[in-house]
Structure 1
């Protein structure tokens, strides 16, 4: 084999690499030699070319020395050998000192800049919001906090996550384009390390939000973060702590770790409850979307004022532009839709739905009530329904359990999902016994149009579509991600849309998806009900972080016990043959022990952005209702 020849460039590169590998001393020596090899000949050329240079050899050599000394910053003094040696020594010492000082300063500044870019400095803020963890939920959380802080001049949100600081800042800047008056401060570090967690100032924060990271160990990470927060803050912290876990089995553990001021939301429970409520009352998701974000109307409290000593029923018509829904007692107890005869105490605060915290202005609307327009309809007879559940995941047993609490006896739920009947039945055995609901199972791929065509979907009173992970899990197959289940859901919705068009009927669809971005792609009718699990929990966490009493409000709204929102035929409350002020509907609902907070008009249900939903309308403004319109009331089931 012929020997491979090396080029001159390769040999020179090899020699240079060996030189660099020789260490600092060798490098300094060679650098000095190279420098002298260039400076001395160049200085000689300058001296010999200078017409004013000395004529003697010794004079010219002295001139060369002076030029070399000035070039290398070692003075170039002339005189006796001892004098020259001392001068050069002092110059070298000064040069070494200055170089070292510059190097130290440069290194220190560079280290500080890198530390700041890495997000290791301490946040010195007061009254700010701390967000621990990173997931897609952080973007709606920050958007809602920005809206909540719109009337504050200096608001801050501190984010701590095991992620690059610059990457976090760029991600937030891309997804949250307008921060208003809010500054977002990102820090890098593990949320389960108390000293690191202290960097974002949890002691001086007004609220701390703990986001569940993606993955099967997300709930365990939330619990560890809550324990680290307790160790970092001890008993000094006054912040409201809001956390979320996905699996209901981990909620109690997380509550113990969160402490007495902590609120732990269970994603599975809340999503299942809202799916059920919306499936039974189409349009309800639009109401919750309005109430849960900080744009439009939401929950606030106001002083009892001159309503002290009066009844709750009288308070319902005491605010023209706000809707009264409950009382907040001095001990923190929340009473939603208490009896109309309940007395308002001096230390009570009235819970209202209104535009902002300063728009709940007392203004009597009782004069707008039209007594002749009030209808005294008898409650409708309980009706059994046929419901269809397409898909199966870990929330399915909770959905079945919740449905049984809301539906009337004789209601049938047909379940269609990948897997076998026996496995689905086993998954339901852990749930409480069902009193009203009959469940049947059918194995099939909900993305297959032939399976859907054989179900007679238009004959059902309501259809729920959830992420279908299937049962049982196939051996060796990795669990599907939220994006993968959303893809299957979108395909299912596409086929259901075609079925509805073929039957010339709008299907009552309620759909669960993971990513809010996929909601915009969904082939469903305008105003359809979508439960976006990640965004829903983000909105809830942001609301509770601003007003912790809302934890009790939402807990009651999302359970079958107590009062929750209902959409009921408006014709059961007021006459449809005339215009009436909304105050008339409020008074009619009051006589039934209910709080009317808005309405939905069928004629504009397909038109965005509100899809006919009007929350907290002006009680003095007249409106003409039509058959098929709904009144939104807060009432017991």
Structure 2
């Protein structure tokens, strides 16, 4: 353990990492790490392939922890594999337990990112501790103010919700503008750190009259899943909630069709109950070009390349397979798409202009591909070519676990933002908030967005790849373009 940790190339900033070996099922071993005095305890999923084995072990560890005579001072964060096992662990551990269902989080995140291009990078920023993340704090000086006023009271943070004292500490994300902050209420914000922000006097606003453009209607979509995940039934349920009626979900993998229906039904999916999506089954190997060419790859709105269940125990093998599938799909798409429709040359500015990469980048303008990556080293291969978005699943789950270990309340926030109901993170066109070349401050745009019951938390300028979350100089007036986009928290439709 110590040798592996020594190889990590980052600054521990004074934190000591102390390793101990033993079994969490043996109370004498738990005493070696003073488990009763820990501020937080993280129970990681085991390496076993089967969800049941890993979750059964997690349940035994939770039982062992609740048996510590001295009691536990901190909360326990449990990484689980199967959503169906979550209630049992919570039943055993009670209020001490916070669960993060790894597969479920990544499945939902992949779907959100497939429907909202560019969202993957924003979630990576928010879940990581290097940029902006969620914090909850009490500010007595804000009592009596409306949430609309609180929204523009922090120069170095973006308020997103309120922990309501009168509702037993329930966190309300994106509350009504007229909600009055009362004694005991705490403010949920996105900020760089818990000590980098504080309220300031209300800024001068130049709001003007915003454009009156209705929210975009939902159209039927055509989506392809390459590969088979153990929680694919849960992903289909999420898609059913998100997509418009008449949508199609094509499933392409090596699992025989009859067996698929059995697995989906065993997972709790009622196939006859699907109203918005129609399932189309295709059998084949996603790394064989001939099999992929039998699919209408140029017609899909989004393609999700899943870390296939058959190879998920080997990180390198799984990523190699995902990468091969990605390159094959993009190459087939680029051969089928007419070159005269090509646009957005900026997408590959500064990168290799070899024709094969350029053709694939043209294809990426037409359909979104989200690749599930397990090894952070694969990220460089995917990101440099600019032909796919990616979800770095292991790293994102680790970030979520660390965030909940730091503050268990944040789990409620993540659960709502990942769920198919409630509020969600979205990317919106600038045309909903401003006119071409209009000069406004970020505060002005935040206030305009409240008319649409949205909270703007950041933006991405045209011709740039990186979104800026919780920007500094929110009062500074600047000229905006309709090609800019804004990152918002909005009520799910």
2:5 equivalent in structure 1: 172
* 1:158-197 CA-partner distances (Å, limit 9, x unpaired): xxxxxxxxxx111111125422211111111111111111
Question: Structure 1 CA distance, aligned partners of 2:242 and 2:187?
Answer: 28
Deviations 1:17-71 (A, max 9, x none): xxxxxxxxxxxxxxxxxxxxxxxxxxxxxxxxxxxxxxxxxxxxxxxxxxxxxxx
Q: Secondary structure at the match of 1:621?
A: coil
Write out aligned runs for 1:234-273 (5 A): 236-273=71-108
1: CA distance, partners of 2:59 / 2:369: 36
Contact 1:273/1:559 (8 A) holds in 2: yes
Q: Is the 8 A contact 1:258 1:264 kept in 2?
A: no
Q: Which residue of 2 aligns with 1:572?
A: 432
Scaled by the length of structure 1, the TM-score of the pair is 0.68
1:349 partnered with 2:186: yes
> Could you tell me how far apart the structure 2 residues matched to 1:305 and 1:359 are?
17
Corresponding position of 2:356: none
Question: Could you list the per-position Cα deviations for residues 493-538 of structure 1 after superposition, in whole angstroms to 9, with x for gaps in the alignment?
Answer: 1213323554432141111122222223337743843222221111
Check conservation: 1:276, 1:403, Cα contact below 8 A.
Answer: yes
The aligned residue for residue 456 of structure 1 is 296
The equivalent residue for 2:328 is 495
Question: Matched residue of 2:108: which SS?
Answer: helix
Change (3 A) 1:323 1:528: farther
- Where structure 2 has 5 or more consecutive residues not aligned to the other structure, the ranges are 338-361
**Inter-partner Cα distance in structure 2 for 1:407 and 1:601:** 28
Identify the range of structure 1 (193-202 vs 171-180) with the bigger mean alpha-carbon deviation. 171-180
Partner residue of 2:269 out of 431, 445, 456? 431
Q: CA deviation at 1:233?
A: 4.9
Q: Does 1:338 align with 2:175?
A: yes
For the residue of structure 1 that corresponds to 2:16, the secondary structure is strand
Displacement of 1:333 in angstroms is 1.3
Q: What is the aligned counterpart of 1:536 among 386, 389, 396? A: 396
Alignment correspondent of 1:102:
none
More displaced 10-residue stretch of structure 1: 416-425 or 194-203:
416-425
| Displacement after TM superposition at 1:341 (Å) | 1.4
Equivalent pair of 2:160/2:188 in contact (CA under 8 Å): yes
> Which position in structure 1 is the counterpart of 2:380?
520
Contact 2:133 2:193 in 1 (8 A): yes
Q: Matched residue of 1:300: which SS?
A: strand
Given that residues 219 and 246 in structure 1 are in contact (C-alpha distance below 8 angstroms), is that contact kept between their aligned partners in structure 2? Answer: yes
Question: What SS is found at the alignment partner of 2:445?
Answer: helix
Q: CA deviation at 1:352?
A: 0.7
**Deviation (angstroms), 1:368:** 3.6
Residue 402 of structure 2 aligns to a residue whose secondary structure is helix
The structure-2 alpha-carbon separation of the partners of 1:517 and 1:179, relative to structure 1 and needing over 3 Å to count, comes to same
**More divergent stretch after superposition (497-506 vs 341-350):** 497-506
The alpha-carbon distance between structure 1 residues 380 and 193, as it changes in their structure 2 partners (threshold 3 A), is same
Aligned residues: 455
Q: Secondary structure at the residue paired with 1:208?
A: strand
- Asked if 1 retains the 8 angstrom alpha-carbon contact of 2:449 and 2:455, the reply is yes
2-structure distance, mates of 1:254, 1:514: 26
Q: What residue in structure 2 maps to residue 635 of structure 1?
A: 490
The 1:505/1:595 distance shift into structure 2, 3 A limit, reads same
- Asked if the contact 1:418/1:468 (under 8 Å) is kept, the reply is no
The answer to whether the 8 A contact 1:326-1:336 is kept is yes
CA contact (8 A) 1:197 1:228 kept: no
- Judging changes above 3 Å, is the alpha-carbon distance between structure 1 residues 173 and 297 closer, same or farther for their aligned structure 2 residues? same
Classify 1:511/1:584 alpha carbon distance in 2 versus 1 (closer, same or farther; 3 Å): same
Give the number of the structure with larger relative contact order, counting CA–CA contacts within 8 Å between residues 6 or more apart: 2
Shift of 1:547: 1.0
d(CA) in 2 for partners of 1:465, 1:426 = 22
Structure 1 residue 272 displacement after superposition: 1.2
Distance across 2 between alignment mates of 1:364 and 1:459: 52
Given that residues 281 and 567 in structure 1 are in contact (C-alpha distance below 8 angstroms), is that contact kept between their aligned partners in structure 2? yes
> Equivalent residue for 1:396?
232
1:27-66 paired onto structure 2 within 5 Å = none
8 Å CA contact 1:226–1:257 kept in 2: the answer is yes
CA distance in 2, matches of 1:233, 1:514: 39
1:300 corresponds to = 135
Report the counterpart of residue 247 of structure 2 in structure 1.
Answer: 411
- How far does residue 370 in structure 1 lie from its aligned partner after superposition? 3.2
Give the one of 184, 193, 209 matched to 2:26.
193
After superposition, the Cα gap between the structure-2 partners of 1:224 and 1:344, relative to the gap in structure 1 and judged at 3 Å, is: same
Deviations 1:365-397 (A, max 9, x none): 54243314x222112222111111111121221
- Render the CA deviation track for 1:578-597: whole Å, top value 9, x for unaligned: 23211121011111111110
Tell me, in whole angstroms, the C-alpha distance in 2 between the residues paired with 1:488 and 1:500: 18
Match status 1:614 vs 2:468:
yes
Match of 2:204 among 362, 367, 371: 367
Secondary structure of the corresponding residue to residue 496 of structure 1 = helix
- Whether the aligned pair in 2 keeps the contact of 1:389 and 1:414 (CA below 8 Å) is yes
Task: Tell me how far 1:364 sits from its aligned partner.
Answer: 4.3
Cα separation, 2, equivalents of 1:569 and 1:353 = 21
Equivalent of 1:275 in 86, 110, 117: 110
Secondary structure of 2:204's match? helix
In 1, Cα distance between equivalents of 2:404 and 2:461: 30
Residue 595 (structure 1) aligns with = 455
**Structure 2 residue 35 is the aligned partner of structure 1 residue 202:** yes
Quickly say closer, same or farther: Cα 1:417–1:622, change in 2 above 3 A. Answer: farther
Contact map agreement 2:382 2:388 (CA 8 A) in 1: no
Equivalent position SS for 1:255: helix
